[in-house]
Structure 1
Amino acid sequence: MAEDSGGLKSWTMHPLRARVIGEVHARPFRLVETPRVVLHYAFTTTAEEAAADLAFLGELCRTHGEPAPDRDASLHQAKIMGGTLRWERHSEFTTYTFDVAPLAGRRPFAAFDHHPFGAGFKPPGKLLVAVRLDVVREEDVPESSGGPLAFFEEVWVSASMAVEGTALIATDFRADGDGRTRILIVDKGLHPRQSGALIQRLLEIETYRTFAVLGLPEAQRIAPDIAKIENRLLESVETLRQSQGLSQNRELLGELTGLSAELEAVTAASAFRFGASWAYHEIVQQRLDAIREDPYKGYSTWGAFLRRRTVPAMRTIRSIQTRQTDLATRLGRAGDLLRTRIDVELEEQNRDLLDSMNRRARLQLRLQQTVEGLSVAAVSYYIVGLIGYLFKGSKIFHVEVDPGILTAFAVPFVLAFVWWTVRRIRHHHEE
């Protein structure tokens, strides 16, 4: 059935659709023929360094007649110097991988200078991983010449069969005289696609296991800081048991708050490194599972060696993370306890203050009542005096009355009126 021309192509696409679909093919395996020499480097890079490196890579590609990478590319491959240069950008590092067929008859790990990492190469950042990986045929490493493991230190070598017995993989995880870690793959029937996938996974194991262990120096660096905060917290808790008074408790709360801020700064500074270490460690375990190792002549497998060497480092990281979490919890509990004590002391102070205010209010009420009584008498006295003067002046109206009698008669009425007026005024204010 023919597709409707007005259907899919005319629909509005999600802006991230192409990126999401292409993510599963972001770093595809390559077909690799045996024999092969592979050089792999990983550099830690900042955003600025990555941008500068992308510009350098574009110039390098154009110099060799290859297209430059896109501005937002995370993977780019180019045919250079008879081989393939593979560039990858990750979140915190950049890798360069170059593979080429060696000269006929050359032994594994022989001197090799035909690569793009010479004098004109500009490292994008600080080098952390350097690998020399050789893929050879079984007949190229006969037992008569020492076998495939003769290129490694016997004490450190790890070797195993991989990909259902079609390849022997060996390494000693140590830097050679050139500063590179050596990895040897002996082809025992690998398909080129299997060979490409195995090479990529082994390089990823070496890269990610190195970046995973970056968390160990960070854990060792902050361990004394964690111990110092723990000791200061213990001292503060002992002081908390005996502290009395609001000022002392407030001072202790300030100290605990400072410890919490110090711990938070240490935790924030190490959170990314520890999280990245565990993510890289998980990737290493996934890649080890993917190569399907089997023991080889009693030698330690890659997985067994890395479990012995890297798992203790990861446990140290986990221990520091656990101590950080536990310390934060204990600081929070101590702070809550101290704040509760301060709140209780403040409530007691407020209660005492309210009692004092109530006592003052009662005294003021009594004083007000006293003043009210005196004011009634005083005002009544002045009014009665005015009335007396009024009665004394009645002669001008030719009225003969006794002022004393009339004044005495007016006194109770004046007292009652003044008392009633004062009560009205007080009730009005209370309302």
Structure 2
Amino acid sequence: MLAAHPLRAAILGELHARPFFPVETPRRFLHVAFLTAPGDAQAERAAVTELCTSRGAPGPLPGAKHHRVSFGGATLRWETHAEFSTYTWDLPATEATAGLLPFQPPAAALASPLAQVRQPGPLLVAVDLHMVTDSMEDVQLDGVFDRASLARSDVNDGAAEIATDFKPDPAGFVRILLRDRGLGTEAAGALVQRVLEIETYRTLALLGLPQAQALAPSIAKIEARLAQTTGEMTGSVGLAANNKLLDELVALAAELEAGATASLFRFGASRAYQEIVRLRLATIRETVVPGFPTWQQFLERRMAPAMRTCQSVEERQENISAKLARSADLLRTRVDVELEQQNRDLLTSMNERTRLQLRMQRTVEGLSVAAISYYVVSLVHLLAEGVHASGTDVRMGFHIDPGSVTAVAVPVAVLAVWWVVRRIRNAHGEHD
């Protein structure tokens, strides 16, 4: 056997992680999506397993990201994603769900199976999709949807029609009507899944808008303060003033980066979800129903401003961050130059002080030579006077004049002391 890469099975399985399932018309689907936290995945999987085992059905396999199980005539499809989970109840066609009027009975009367699922997080998406044979008139649609927001289009090369107003009903479900004109079970299952994904991902994509709106005032404040600070930079003088401006720029940069870091995932996810919506709309191949916008036209008109707002906020964050970095670099350069000037002045002052100390040292050395010579000569003078007063010189046959001896000792003592001091200074210099 060939040794396989440890991730090979996961990579190959990803292509088949969420397959389409055949669907027969008529049918009713209740689809919900909950935002979930990464740490709650195991608890959610355990809840789904418990629900399945309580009905005598097998639960999801360990590590599985989706599971499909039948409870009587209804089928539950569970899927887990990076930040949300979906639960789709495929309800059988009965006299209630297959009647002439769409969405009868209302979703609230059919939502009891949803109560059996432990809610893993806050509800974000709720869809009531009714797939019927194409036999209803437009007047019936007018009674179901808001005509001002109704989006209709033929899909799959005219094999079906989809219609919705993207508005929640009293129970909170967005109603979607799918009129089958001969899809076939496989094509119907694929279309149902794609339509549910369009509604799920377009809702998730719009999660970035509230965050963008919340960040906008803070970004505007940072922009205004940055303009004020850069204006103050032109007239700031002195190291203290420049350091103060630099500290303020660093604080603004930290505040901006905190907001940018918090919104980084959300804005990136919104772009990814918008791209998924665009791809799903392209896949179902919409054609225009006269008098109504297609889903793509409706969503582009309504979603585009929200997505542009998110993009604008993200671009403003990047632009301000670059401007803050440039302004901070300019101030750091100015501060560095001022520090170098201070260091130069300090070194000049130290050199001057050293020269003064050297002069003082030489002055002290001169004074010390004179002082030591004075004491040496004084000792010689005292010695000569003592010898003269005791008459020792006379007894030894010569005469000592203390004054003459002192006069002769002065240059000798000065030269001797100067020579000794010079030797000492030279010795210290060689040691240094």
Q: 2:254 maps to which residue?
A: 261
> What is the Cα deviation at residue 124 of structure 1?
1.6
Question: What is the alpha-carbon distance in structure 2 between the residues aligned to residue 399 and residue 295 of structure 1?
Answer: 148
Gaps of 5+ in 2: none
Contact 1:109 1:134 in 2 (8 A): yes
Q: 2:319 maps to which residue?
A: 326
Q: 2:61 maps to which residue?
A: 70
Question: What is the alpha-carbon distance in structure 2 between the residues aligned to residue 340 and residue 142 of structure 1?
Answer: 75
> What is the Cα deviation at residue 118 of structure 1?
4.9
Q: Percent of counterpart pairs with the same letter?
A: 50
Q: 1:110 maps to which residue?
A: 104
Question: What is the alpha-carbon distance in structure 2 between the residues aligned to residue 21 and residue 120 of structure 1?
Answer: 33
Q: Give the counterpart of 1:90 among 77, 81, 88.
A: 81
Question: What is the alpha-carbon distance in structure 1 between the residues aligned to residue 253 and residue 307 of structure 2?
Answer: 25
Question: What is the alpha-carbon distance in structure 1 between the residues aligned to residue 112 and residue 62 of structure 2?
Answer: 22
Q: Map residues 379-398 of structure 1 onto 2, 5 A cutoff.
A: 379-387=372-380, 395=392, 398=396
Gaps of 5+ in 1: 1-6
- SS state of the match for residue 28, structure 1? coil
Contact 1:388 1:403 in 2 (8 A): no
Q: 1:420 maps to which residue?
A: 419
- SS state of the match for residue 19, structure 2? coil
Contact 1:81 1:116 in 2 (8 A): no
User: Structure 1: which amino acid aligns with 2:361?
Assistant: Q
Higher mean C-alpha displacement, 245-254 vs 302-311: 245-254
Q: 2:145 maps to which residue?
A: 152
- SS state of the match for residue 352, structure 1? helix
Question: What is the alpha-carbon distance in structure 1 between the residues aligned to residue 301 and residue 26 of structure 2?
Answer: 32
- SS state of the match for residue 149, structure 2? coil
Higher mean C-alpha displacement, 154-163 vs 382-391: 382-391
Question: What is the alpha-carbon distance in structure 2 between the residues aligned to residue 94 and residue 103 of structure 1?
Answer: 28
Q: Map residues 7-406 of structure 1 onto 2, 5 A cutoff.
A: 7-8=1-2, 11=3, 13-104=4-95, 105-107=98-100, 108-111=102-105, 113=109, 117-138=113-134, 141-143=135-137, 146=139, 151-387=144-380, 395=392, 398=396, 400=398, 402=400, 404=402, 405=404
Per-residue Cα deviation, 1:310-354 (whole angstroms, up to 9, x for no partner): 011000111111111111122222222222222233233333333
Question: What is the alpha-carbon distance in structure 2 between the residues aligned to residue 304 and residue 120 of structure 1?
Answer: 37
Compute the TM-score of the two structures, normalised by the length of structure 2. 0.89
Question: What is the alpha-carbon distance in structure 1 between the residues aligned to residue 115 and residue 34 of structure 2?
Answer: 17
Question: What is the alpha-carbon distance in structure 1 between the residues aligned to residue 15 and residue 123 of structure 2?
Answer: 28
Question: What is the alpha-carbon distance in structure 1 between the residues aligned to residue 84 and residue 125 of structure 2?
Answer: 10
Contact 1:216 1:317 in 2 (8 A): yes
Contact 2:51 2:116 in 1 (8 A): no
User: Structure 1: which amino acid aligns with 2:262?
Assistant: A
Question: What is the alpha-carbon distance in structure 2 between the residues aligned to residue 281 and residue 49 of structure 1?
Answer: 26
Per-residue Cα deviation, 1:201-224 (whole angstroms, up to 9, x for no partner): 111110010011111111111111
Question: What is the alpha-carbon distance in structure 1 between the residues aligned to residue 397 and residue 210 of structure 2?
Answer: 118
Question: What is the alpha-carbon distance in structure 1 between the residues aligned to residue 285 and residue 412 of structure 2?
Answer: 117
> What is the Cα deviation at residue 162 of structure 1?
1.5
> What is the Cα deviation at residue 425 of structure 1?
2.2
Work out the number of aligned pairs and report it: 419
- SS state of the match for residue 66, structure 1? coil
Per-residue Cα deviation, 1:55-98 (whole angstroms, up to 9, x for no partner): 22111101211111234322111112312211111111111011
CA root-mean-square deviation: 2.4
User: Structure 2: which amino acid aligns with 1:274?
Assistant: F
User: Structure 2: which amino acid aligns with 1:153?
Assistant: D
Question: What is the alpha-carbon distance in structure 2 between the residues aligned to residue 393 and residue 192 of structure 1?
Answer: 143
Contact 2:287 2:294 in 1 (8 A): yes
Compute the TM-score of the two structures, normalised by the length of structure 1. 0.89
Question: What is the alpha-carbon distance in structure 1 between the residues aligned to residue 223 and residue 286 of structure 2?
Answer: 44
Contact 1:149 1:170 in 2 (8 A): no
Question: What is the alpha-carbon distance in structure 2 between the residues aligned to residue 164 and residue 149 of structure 1?
Answer: 24
> What is the Cα deviation at residue 399 of structure 1?
7.1
